[in-house]
Amino acid sequence: MSRSRKILMLLGSYDSHAHAGIARAARVLNWHLDVSLLKTFQLPAQWRGDGIITSLNRSQRLASFIHRAKLPTVDLSSWRADIELPRVVADNVCIGRVAAEHFGILGHHNFAWFALSRDPVGEARCKGFRDALPPGVNFCRLSGSGAPNRKKILAQLESFSEPVAVFCKSDDDAAWLLNLCLDCGLSVPARVALLGTDNNRLICENQPVPLSSVNHDLERIGYEGALRLDSIINGDYFEEALLIPPTGVTKRQSTDALAIADPAIVEALNFMNTNYRRSIGTDDIAAAAALPRRSLEKRFKELLHKSVHEALVEIRLNNAQHFLEHGHSSMTDIAALCGFCNAPHFSRSFKSKYRLSPLKYRKKFCLI
């Protein structure tokens, strides 16, 4: 029987989901996973083993330890791009893009980015968000770098004449900003819509206004990182980082409001949200909005930057996401409940948006 490889898990920013992914891979690979150094202040002068899986952060002690170890290492973080290491990391640009898409269906024209501190991870998410916004919209960074200036942030939010959609670097940041808004009388989501990242349920579901959040797939990052480390120990070489995309948005009350002034488009969206289970099409939606089909399509493109059909599919998928998170109905039943013609069509559409099959999504995110 071959000797178990001894692998050190040394996460500069500990996350239980990443740990779960690493542990799952360790069982598959028959590793001896050493978790005795979870706290970076416990770093020894040296460590003997076969490899290290880490997530670098601001700590220079951690970076120096990795350098001295001279062992195969995989980094699960984008913090230290100046250090050449094999990496399996979140696709932070894609996280920002998914946030922009989520706000898009709500009809917002004012957008902002907020992070309590500035770092490479946040900057990539901000860039993905900003670049995915339609041309001509209003965008600003809320002042959050260093000690956040509550008065300045409040003035920035109040400067928008219409509702503003704010994408936050993390759920922590979103919770901080939510408290500021509520303290100062800014209604969430009617006046300020807030979207976090990581979908930390302990944070998101325990706020005065539950927070919507981008599903950052940390468990898969840990799992894929461990598999890559094992391949490197076996002699494989990887030049490019492996980017792990998010798996959609878990929608809660903090973004549950339309920001659309056009009453015909509001009527169309209300009709779609009420009747998405039925076999409806663009002609039915146009009739409900009392508009010619061509006029409806034009207004959707101008205001929501997507076609009527694309908006309908998004509504159906958002509702399917809810069924997967809160129940155990079959794929055939969910397809029927959400207006898809059959289960295979539903599965293809769901996987195209969320990068996971419906069954895998349920396994990862089901709440009951």
pLDDT in tens, 155-182: 999 998 888 999 999 999 999 999 999 9
Average confidence score pLDDT of the chain: 90
pLDDT of 306 > 90? The answer is no
133/202 same-domain check: yes
pLDDT of 29 > 90? The answer is yes
Domain that holds residue 277: 263-365
pLDDT of 77 > 90? The answer is yes
Q: Token digits for 309?
A: 């059909």
Last residue in a domain, options 255, 279, 313: 255
Task: Give the Cα separation of 33 and 21 in Å (integer).
Answer: 12
| pLDDT attached to residue 151 | 86
| pLDDT attached to residue 144 | 63
Whether 283 maps to a domain, the answer reads: yes
85/170 same-domain check: no
pLDDT of 22 > 80? The answer is yes
Task: Give the Cα separation of 245 and 243 in Å (integer).
Answer: 6
Q: Residue 115 belongs to a domain with what CATH number?
A: 3.40.50.2300
Last residue in a domain, options 235, 255, 275: 255
pLDDT of 50 > 80? The answer is yes
202/169 same-domain check: yes
156/48 same-domain check: no
Last residue in a domain, options 255, 283, 306: 255
Whether 1 maps to a domain, the answer reads: no
Whether 229 maps to a domain, the answer reads: yes
Cβ-based neighbour number of residue 261 at 10 Å: 11
Whether 228 maps to a domain, the answer reads: yes
Task: Looking at the chain, list the stretches that DSSP marks H as alpha helix, in order from N- to C-terminal side.
Answer: 16-29, 60-69, 92-104, 120-132, 150-158, 171-183, 201-204, 218-233, 263-275, 282-289, 293-303, 308-326, 331-337, 343-354, 358-365
Q: Residue 270 belongs to a domain with what CATH number?
A: 1.10.10.60
| pLDDT attached to residue 41 | 60
Whether 110 maps to a domain, the answer reads: yes
Q: Token digits for 122?
A: 């946040």
86/222 same-domain check: yes
Given pLDDT bands bounded at 50, 70 and 90, which one contains residue 148? low
Nearest C-alpha neighbor of 318 from the set 215, 253, 248, 216:
248
Whether 177 maps to a domain, the answer reads: yes
**77 CB contacts (<8 Å, ≥6 apart)?**
12, 13, 54, 55, 56, 57, 87, 89, 121
| pLDDT attached to residue 13 | 84
Whether 11 maps to a domain, the answer reads: yes
226/269 same-domain check: no
72/208 same-domain check: no
117/204 same-domain check: yes
pLDDT of 254 > 80? The answer is yes
DSSP symbols for 136-172: T-EEEE-S-SSS--HHHHHHHHHT-SS-EEEEESSHH
Q: Calculate the CA dihedral of residues 203, 241, 145, 99 and round it to 10 degrees.
A: -50
Structural domain count of the chain: 3
| pLDDT attached to residue 357 | 93
197/276 same-domain check: no
The alpha carbon dihedral of 266, 141, 188, 320 has a sign of positive
| pLDDT attached to residue 362 | 87
| pLDDT attached to residue 343 | 94
296/232 same-domain check: no
Whether 323 maps to a domain, the answer reads: yes
131/185 same-domain check: yes
pLDDT digits (tens, 9 = 90+) for 319-366: 898 888 878 899 999 999 999 999 999 999 999 988 889 998 888 777
pLDDT digits (tens, 9 = 90+) for 181-230: 999 999 999 899 999 999 999 999 999 999 999 998 899 999 999 999 99
Given pLDDT bands bounded at 50, 70 and 90, which one contains residue 134? confident
Report, as an integer, the average pLDDT of 52-72: 92
Per this entry, what is the length of the chain? 368
Cβ-based neighbour number of residue 176 at 10 Å: 19
223/79 same-domain check: yes
